[in-house]
Copies of this chain bind each other. A is one copy, B any other.
Amino acid sequence: MSERDEIEAIQQLKYRYMRAVDLKLWDELHDTFWPEVVCSYGDGTHSFEGRDAVLGFLRDSLGGNLVTLHQVHHPQIEITGPNTARGRWYLVDYVINAGPDRPLMKGRSTLLGAAFYHDQYEKRDGEWRILSTGYERTFEQFDDLPESSEVHSRWDAETG
């Protein structure tokens, strides 16, 4: 494969990762990580080693009927060796907790934020996966959800 094709494959990996996060597809998310993956979200306040720890954190913090939007832009991918690469992405994320308080987010509130991701990828048996990932925030804005806000999501049924 050409370097351009490798970069394209890595971008597709990142898109699968993001889609799995926002659709809460934990099995698909599992398959984007190598077992020894290291993750550091929120400027290092939430760091995890190993796929099980990472997945456990993501399920706990993003599961249930929380609405999340994670979109990544401006890919700057660099092939650093025959089977290694690093990438920088510009994240924008938006989270709605229309329900009661949760561990990381109070009830009836929203979060809007942006960050620069720094990832490392490795290719094994022809397949690129994430070896480490993390981001540094530019900003986070927490707001109360206005009383007049009407939120519909595909997880409404789970609100109960």
Residues on A close to B: CB < 8 A? Answer: 4-5, 8, 12, 14-16, 18-19, 22-23, 67, 69, 71-76, 90, 92, 94, 96, 112, 114, 116, 136-144, 146, 148-154
Contacts and interface: CB of A to CB of B under 8 A. Distances in A.
22 contacts: A12-B76, A14-B74, A15-B75, A16-B76, A18-B90, A22-B138, A23-B138, A69-B138, A71-B73, A71-B74, A71-B90, A71-B92, A73-B73, A96-B141, A137-B152, A137-B154, A138-B153, A139-B152, A140-B152, A142-B149, A143-B150, A144-B148
Copies of this chain in the oligomer: 3
A141 B154 CA distance: 12
B149 A114 contact: no
Nearest to A90: B71
Contacts of A16: 76
Contacts of A75: 15
A23 to B, nearest CB: 7
Nearest to A144: B148
